[in-house]
Structure 1
């Protein structure tokens, strides 16, 4: 049975761009989204290889630190 893992925002900010879409097969450290916080770009990476199952945010949306922004099926 596949393991589903939450991907969380490392900081509060705004989703600047989404770099992946549900269904995409990702490798470890592939970018999922780019956040903007204090005029800095902060990438959110895939924690491991697997399939992106769900995006829970949209471009332009504000996120809080540790907020779940995506779910991945690992393996």
Structure 2
């Protein structure tokens, strides 16, 4: 479970993980793409809602994610 100050970036739909744009330890800013999803031949960027440091990546390229699945955790 994420710490209270952590932010979990979650999938908003059923999709395939196309690319992971960050690595653990990377610093991201609000609006940065952290994961690129693909659904019905459309690419959907999952964006950081705020700045922070990537503390965990919960998916791998090729995974099928469901609505609400945690993709990346920021601290």
How does the TM-score come out when normalised to structure 1? 0.91
CA–CA distance in 2 between the matches of 1:66 and 1:40? 19
RMSD: 1.1
Q: Does the alignment pair 1:59 with 2:58?
A: no
**Unmatched tracts of structure 2, length 5 or more:** none
Equivalenced residue count is 72
After TM superposition, the score normalised by the length of structure 2 is 0.91
Aligned to 1:31: 33
Structure with more strand by fraction: 1
Give structure 1 stretches of 5+ with no counterpart: none
